[in-house]
């Protein structure tokens, strides 16, 4: 039996203008701060173990995006990526930036927008299976697109509520994890309990469908606010982590990330799925820690500089311009 997991970090509601967020945080102490942004249908508890591993070096803040977790529905039911980015920006300003910004999936897309539009608030950027636009046919994105289709999405959400929470959690974990058998029974029970609680919230179904719809809309956005164009404007040292067994985001997208972000390191985890921070928290924390230390070194060398040297490499990606060169992490 695996070791009993640590409890989820305590949270509180934080009023940020018109938006109220539920935020979980590790104990005060370290001067450095990190903000963690979850993905579609996720919550702040997706980051519990990684935050624990990094708690000696940074004070971590994991938010429930508006309408997710314990955060109330946003004003005007605005579940757009822009609205999410504004909420994350407000939190970073509240805790005191610049911060180490970390995002998974939808949270990765949100983090890119924050880093591109508010570079002074982001010290380093870590993206785990970021949901950046990918129009190539793939089961995961196709499933999200169908769930976001007007009327179909709402119908599917209402039908899903009749399915037992245990089956829904099992299906979600089978999709997001490379090996759902690695999930500790305590974490499974946590997820089932949380899903039951959210089933009683009047806005839960809308939040899920509207978030999926907002993500699909980003895939077709053109102009300077396209997420890939914004990625090219990110000045913070960036790390992009993909799981080779990801069923939702194609790990081959790392190649485009390597060509787009100005200062990027690529990490490919051979046995991970879509939520590497939950499957391999120690390994993911080690990579985040290395990026944070590199960011601190660059700040010391060039105080106040907004751009660090292009083309940083890691031991796991000895050719950051080509995802095929990323070595397996043992």
- The pLDDT tens digits of the residues spanning 76-105 come to 999 999 999 999 999 999 999 899 999 999
pLDDT number for residue 121: 98
The domain that holds 106 is classified in CATH as 3.40.50.1820
pLDDT number for residue 294: 87
Residue 203 has pLDDT above 50, yes or no: yes
Structure tokens at 204: 């839960």
Residue 119 has pLDDT above 60, yes or no: yes
Sign of CA dihedral 235, 288, 96, 44: positive
314 forms beta bridges with 317
pLDDT number for residue 318: 34
pLDDT number for residue 297: 74
Instruction: Assess if residue 192 is contained within a domain.
Output: no
- Our CA dihedral for 290, 292, 297, 299, rounded to 10 degrees, sits at 160
Number of domains in the chain: 1
Residue 159 has pLDDT above 80, yes or no: no
Whether pTM exceeds 0.85: yes
**How many residues are present in the chain?**
330
17 Cβ partners below 8 Å, 6+ apart? Answer: 90
pLDDT number for residue 8: 98
Where do we find the tokens 């050719």?
319
Instruction: Assess if residue 263 is contained within a domain.
Output: yes
Residue 247, domain extent? 11-136+221-325
Instruction: Assess if residue 213 is contained within a domain.
Output: no
């Amino acid at each position: 039996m695996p070791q009993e997991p640590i409890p989820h970090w305590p949270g509180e509601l934080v009023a940020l203008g018109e938006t109220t967020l539920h935020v979980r945080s590790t104990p005060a102490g370290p001067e450095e701060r990190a903000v963690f942004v979850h993905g579609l249908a996720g919550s702040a508890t997706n980051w519990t173990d990684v935050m624990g591993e990094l708690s000696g070096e940074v004070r971590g803040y994991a938010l429930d995006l508006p309408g997710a977790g314990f955060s109330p529905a946003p004003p005007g039911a605005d579940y757009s990526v822009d609205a999410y980015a504004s909420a994350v920006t407000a939190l970073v300003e509240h805790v005191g930036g610049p911060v180490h910004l970390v995002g998974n999936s939808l949270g990765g897309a949100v983090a890119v927008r924050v880093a591109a539009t508010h570079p002074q608030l982001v010290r380093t950027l870590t993206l785990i299976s970021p949901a950046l636009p990918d129009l190539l046919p793939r089961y995961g994105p196709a499933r999200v697109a169908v769930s976001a289709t007007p009327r179909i999405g709402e119908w599917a959400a209402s039908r899903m509520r009749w399915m037992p929470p245990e089956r829904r959690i099992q299906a979600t974990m089978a999709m997001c994890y490379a090996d759902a058998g690695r999930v500790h029974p305590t974490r499974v029970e946590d997820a089932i309990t949380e899903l039951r609680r959210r089933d009683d919230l009047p806005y839960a179904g809308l939040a899920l469908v509207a978030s999926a719809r907002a993500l699909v809309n980003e895939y077709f956005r053109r102009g300077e606010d396209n997420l890939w164009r914004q990625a090219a404007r990110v000045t913070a040292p960036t790390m992009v982590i993909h799981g080779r067994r990801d069923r939702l985001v194609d790990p081959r997208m790392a190649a485009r990330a390597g060509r787009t972000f100005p200062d990027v390191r690529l990490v490919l985890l051979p046995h991970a799925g879509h939520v590497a921070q939950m499957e391999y928290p120690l390994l993911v924390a080690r990579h985040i820690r290395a990026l944070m230390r590199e960011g601190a070194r660059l700040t010391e060398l060039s105080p106040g500089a907004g751009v660090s040297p292009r083309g940083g490499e890691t031991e796991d990606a000895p050719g950051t311009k080509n995802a095929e060169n990323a070595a397996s992490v043992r």
